[in-house]
Structure 1
């Protein structure tokens, strides 16, 4: 049995579906499993990583995918280890390899270190920016034809959530090959925010405008989110500032190395989600 925590998330859901397609037995953990239409054969159970997981959740589990929640990670790891789980994949972040170890990296490092300190083998999956983060632009694009962000020339190589899941699934199905590896993941193209806006514009057939926010305006917007701290907001904005015009070294080979195919493009992601930017 393979246990997937964070199973209703953008990556977790794809992990569940890809494991099912591969014929693997899956137990999916989420806070409200009854609210999700799961694929046939998935055993859906209730669980909350912020409160810890019961011993029953780990019954017959040999491999586990761990969503990064640092608060109770020591107890979750101990429970998995005691139940005989042998391999753990962690949804981490490129930020985990940062030398600064600020709020962007700390939560991921705490989870990685707790897993590495156990007797279980592990694979750390460290993606950069998710393509799906661009969905936050959709309401303004639909309403006003505008993208309103700071640092229009800030560059990333965003990655499709399906590719993050594919690397994770490979490690869950073949731990012997992937144990002890930390895979740093990116999409196939370095794209500025203006580049991404242009891809969306072409896909929906509508001219869009980029309204540049000042750092302080953007910081105020970020802090409206209930999960955003001042330290994290400042770290995010500093990362954007540091990547203005920086395109070298952003495209990484791990997706192709692990899966044998090129990572999906941002244009393909936009086409999948096109209706969200067009509206009804």
Structure 2
């Protein structure tokens, strides 16, 4: 049995691939440029884009389980091809935004709801992972930290409960390998709500030098995020941060419920990634 892992260049998928290999599973890495992902030894790679059905047959040959990044464009055709190829179970990387009261009112929620609905309607066994804020989002701060020891922020007192990518990966692997997770929706966050001030302090401790917040305006924040996320998603992110300014973020215990251990704290993530900020 082969497990297909999409989004091979992403940090979550890279962690999923490593853990599956460590567990002795046969895996295939897929993405637009999978060979550039620095894959573990022995991992097959194949080019796959959901918008290009020509790559489906090679990607799905012999595959019985799939770890799938949410991408509404082309997902229906991909899931049809997966079912025809004999795939039995798909674990979808979605977002907590899909579980909000009115998820389709913003670009992030609508995007992930569309992917979830397509999977649920596909006839395949499914598991949905809904992580909150990724700790890796703070890598956007890395250039300004390396260059000047500062983090520009319009909302230094906004809260997040950032989750380590390894926790998402471990939950994904457990979900792929244990049929008890079929039909489950796992809400995942880090173990604590932290302000951006607190996150910056933990990064400074991990890096071993001072880092300070540089006050920015919401307009500057929007301009900084737009090149990475696009205008619609950037606006959602800025609005979210404004809404959680001084308001603790929700914390879910999904990592413990699936893995039997607590979620890794942001301090651990900062230590694991300190080199990215030096």
Of 158, 161, 168, 2:165 maps to 161
Match of 2:212 in 1: 209
Unaligned runs of 5+ in 2: none
Of residues 59-68 and 46-55 in structure 1, the stretch that sits farther from structure 2 once superposed is: 46-55
Q: Distance in 2 between matches of 1:109 and 1:162?
A: 24
Q: Distance in 1 between matches of 2:224 and 2:36?
A: 30
RMSD value, Cα: 1.4
Q: Distance in 2 between matches of 1:219 and 1:38?
A: 34
Q: Distance in 1 between matches of 2:37 and 2:170?
A: 21
- Taking the TM superposition and a 5 Å limit, the aligned residue runs for 1:125-274 are 125-174=129-178, 176-225=179-228, 227-229=229-231, 231-247=232-248, 250-274=250-274
User: Counterpart of 2:63 in 1: which secondary structure?
Assistant: coil
Cα distance, 1:110 vs structure 2? 0.8
Match of 1:120 in 2: 124
Listed one character per residue, the Cα deviations across residues 239-258 of structure 1 (whole Å, up to 9, x for unaligned) are 1111112226x221110110
Listed one character per residue, the Cα deviations across residues 34-80 of structure 1 (whole Å, up to 9, x for unaligned) are 33332233111122223234223211111111111111111111110
Of residues 19-28 and 232-241 in structure 1, the stretch that sits farther from structure 2 once superposed is: 232-241
Listed one character per residue, the Cα deviations across residues 80-111 of structure 1 (whole Å, up to 9, x for unaligned) are 01111110000000001122321011111111
User: Counterpart of 1:252 in 2: which secondary structure?
Assistant: coil
Q: Distance in 2 between matches of 1:170 and 1:259?
A: 7
- Runs of 4+ with deviation above 4 angstroms: none
User: Counterpart of 1:123 in 2: which secondary structure?
Assistant: strand
- For the Cα contact (< 8 Å) 2:71–2:111, is it kept in 1? yes
User: Counterpart of 2:227 in 1: which secondary structure?
Assistant: coil
Question: TM-score scaled by structure 1?
Answer: 0.94
Q: Distance in 1 between matches of 2:245 and 2:33?
A: 40
Q: Distance in 2 between matches of 1:224 and 1:45?
A: 28
Q: Distance in 2 between matches of 1:57 and 1:17?
A: 19
Q: Distance in 1 between matches of 2:52 and 2:156?
A: 39
Cα distance, 1:33 vs structure 2? 2.8
Q: Distance in 2 between matches of 1:116 and 1:203?
A: 42
Question: TM-score scaled by structure 2?
Answer: 0.94
Match of 1:94 in 2: 96
- For the Cα contact (< 8 Å) 1:50–1:69, is it kept in 2? no
Unaligned runs of 5+ in 1: none
Q: Distance in 2 between matches of 1:168 and 1:29?
A: 16
Q: Distance in 1 between matches of 2:217 and 2:148?
A: 20
Q: Distance in 2 between matches of 1:152 and 1:254?
A: 27
